[in-house]
Structure 1
């Protein structure tokens, strides 16, 4: 009498189920990524109306972005390190609940100090979530479709940049800035309820065989982790220096292309980049990364030499958007693979590197524009694009291989 082996037809059905991508859960994780990026950048598009609502200056309102980034930078790594033994689904839902609470406090705040404090807390929860998304998506996906799973999960970030922030700015200007924040809380709430209903659970990083935790510093020193973080910083600094100051750049053109149209082109192209990476990441990760940075740098050169031509700017924006849209999946895949069983901790470095790059890009762009025109910005994009490309060549022996499910 056999009581341990399932019937052949049941075993086949189970194997087929394991081979399928959990599409709904992966899309919901992408929605959360969309919320995180939109939530972070939203104040930049609503500076005047938030300043009026809080009876303060636009410069002070700009600190809402800095406070969010600071919370992410300070809290992410220690939080992920301390919680890596916990099961993923309950931790993710708890972090989303904290994010919703903090963001709602920002929406109802009438005081700048309270708003800054709630933004710092929201950034902290955002960092925890970012540190989990990629590894969680891989844990619940079949190994031979890891790249496609990462492409789906990573789609939320470029969509937030391209569509979330402009839509949030429109809503906040048309109605009231508070409604833009409330809308993000509602979207996150809907997504979290859906995740609670359909998402499979996954084990924490340290629940296998009583394995001793690897210290955070040793995770950072794992082959491939540091070089990947350097690529992230250089690539995101190159991109965000121009993205943050598109209006000053467009003043050097013939004036026929408006910033909202350029952002729309960038957004559509980012979606194409996500699809391209999803199709190629599992098979050609290194070639894809090298090619993406070559095209990214070519886009920057086109922005510089073709600034007087609207068609040239459009072509450059398409190339820029395609490469940026596919960047998060490639970089998360590299960190996840390099981190191995400590991939959650390795991925917790990503939002830190990303937010430091955003912070530095804002300062660098402002400093350049104080004495130069907008053409200085694509020069920065070229220089740091080349640095990122060189780093991928240097690190090809230890990083940027095909992603593996944990």
Structure 2
């Protein structure tokens, strides 16, 4: 049932002369919290398993349950709430996320914890689905690519800092403090959102396309295919970076590799933000080509720590800007239906993560870690072909 909501009369007018830095920074902080919460169990498997008297494999399902919640709930949640005022919906989503994340921090029952993770993933999917459209509503047209780059920065920073810090806290104090710390940060986030993010109206009823028609917009399917293949190529190697580094005779430690990748991703976000509004198609094809090159260097240069670190840096820079590029392309094509269209992105993203876990496990179990960058490069070549074929509908020249 569609419910028409009156436009938000408190919405702050878009100002063309500058970016709404404070609001966009708070949205980036939200992305940091979401990605840190999603990946936190991966760094705490032994501690959580021992505390809950279960296996590490079962605790590993905490990540799967979160991803499944995102896949199942994102599109219905965004579709049913696209008429709501954006700030109200944002605060409801953050508050719900806070509650279920706190349950994870306190629960002693595995089944309850898995259920909480599923619901947390559902709230996360809704928040990810609406962030891009909300950022565009409060940003002048000439700065929208940069706005999406700023909002996207929270994810790589969460990977680079959030998960390692949470792992350190869980190892030296207790794993529950890792999730509890995220809950405290979420409380601060709510206060910042209330103070700095302006209101914005939801989508008018007259402009709402049915879900199937949004999906059928020329170019949407091509963007989702690019997202899936790019994320699959990235995650297959990223999730199993430890087996690759064990095979690489002179590789860095896992901790160093992850920090280098995360910092490089932030650089990628900055580069993307600087040029995305002027050279979007060139940026996309250059990013994919250099991403493929990074995989080749990981394979051929595995005996040199310098080559491995250079490849990881190149990998991070080229992949870091990918979310902003895909959100910008999706938002351009879908117009007023950007919230619904962008809701497809986390679904494709998390399906690729699931597939990467299966594919990477098969490669590591049957070959060795050097197969990972080979597959990464092969998928990147396929990705380049998909993007080229969809260049007119999905990635038009600007």
Q: TM-score range by the shorter chain?
A: over 0.9
2:105 corresponds to which residue? 107
Residue by residue over 1:277-302, the C-alpha shift from the partner in whole angstroms, topping out at 9 and shown as x without a partner, is 00000000000000000000000010
Residue by residue over 1:244-302, the C-alpha shift from the partner in whole angstroms, topping out at 9 and shown as x without a partner, is 11110011122451111111111121111111000000000000000000000000010
Runs of 4+ in 1 over 4 A off after TM superposition: 14-18
Instruction: Give the Cα–Cα distance (whole angstroms) in 2 for the partners of residues 134 and 401 of structure 1.
Output: 20
| 1:132/1:370 CA distance change after superposition, 3 Å | same
Instruction: Give the Cα–Cα distance (whole angstroms) in 1 for the partners of residues 396 and 115 of structure 2.
Output: 40
Instruction: Give the Cα–Cα distance (whole angstroms) in 2 for the partners of residues 373 and 256 of structure 1.
Output: 15
Q: 1:197 aligns with which of 195, 198, 204?
A: 195
Q: What are the within-5 Å matches in structure 2 for residues 9-48 of structure 1?
A: 17-48=15-46
Instruction: Give the Cα–Cα distance (whole angstroms) in 2 for the partners of residues 400 and 163 of structure 1.
Output: 32
How far off its partner does 1:387 sit?
A: 1.5
User: Is it true that 1:92 corresponds to 2:100 in the alignment?
Assistant: no
Residue by residue over 1:196-251, the C-alpha shift from the partner in whole angstroms, topping out at 9 and shown as x without a partner, is 1121111112x2xx415311111111111110010000001101111111110011
Residue by residue over 1:114-137, the C-alpha shift from the partner in whole angstroms, topping out at 9 and shown as x without a partner, is 000000000000000000111111
User: Is it true that 1:184 corresponds to 2:179 in the alignment?
Assistant: no
Q: Any stretches of 5+ residues in structure 1 without a counterpart?
A: 1-13
Q: 2:214 aligns with which of 215, 219, 224?
A: 219
How far off its partner does 1:347 sit?
A: 0.4
Q: Is the 8 A contact 2:16 2:142 kept in 1?
A: no
Q: 1:387 aligns with which of 374, 382, 392?
A: 382
How far off its partner does 1:16 sit?
A: 9.3
2:167 corresponds to which residue? 169
User: Is it true that 1:274 corresponds to 2:262 in the alignment?
Assistant: no
Q: What are the within-5 Å matches in structure 2 for residues 227-306 of structure 1?
A: 227-306=222-301
Instruction: Give the Cα–Cα distance (whole angstroms) in 2 for the partners of residues 15 and 70 of structure 1.
Output: 37
| 1:344/1:371 CA distance change after superposition, 3 Å | same
Instruction: Give the Cα–Cα distance (whole angstroms) in 2 for the partners of residues 193 and 389 of structure 1.
Output: 43
Instruction: Give the Cα–Cα distance (whole angstroms) in 1 for the partners of residues 91 and 16 of structure 2.
Output: 23
Q: Is the 8 A contact 2:363 2:371 kept in 1?
A: yes
CA RMSD in angstroms, aligned pairs only: 1.5
Q: Is the 8 A contact 2:251 2:302 kept in 1?
A: no
How far off its partner does 1:17 sit?
A: 4.2
How far off its partner does 1:400 sit?
A: 2.4
Instruction: Give the Cα–Cα distance (whole angstroms) in 1 for the partners of residues 14 and 332 of structure 2.
Output: 25
Q: Any stretches of 5+ residues in structure 2 without a counterpart?
A: 1-11
Instruction: Give the Cα–Cα distance (whole angstroms) in 2 for the partners of residues 82 and 372 of structure 1.
Output: 46
Q: 1:356 aligns with which of 348, 351, 360?
A: 351
How far off its partner does 1:368 sit?
A: 1.2
Q: What are the within-5 Å matches in structure 2 for residues 335-346 of structure 1?
A: 335-346=330-341
How far off its partner does 1:19 sit?
A: 2.6
| Count of paired positions | 387
How far off its partner does 1:340 sit?
A: 1.2
State the SS of the aligned residue for 2:247: coil
Instruction: Give the Cα–Cα distance (whole angstroms) in 1 for the partners of residues 327 and 341 of structure 2.
Output: 9
State the SS of the aligned residue for 2:206: coil
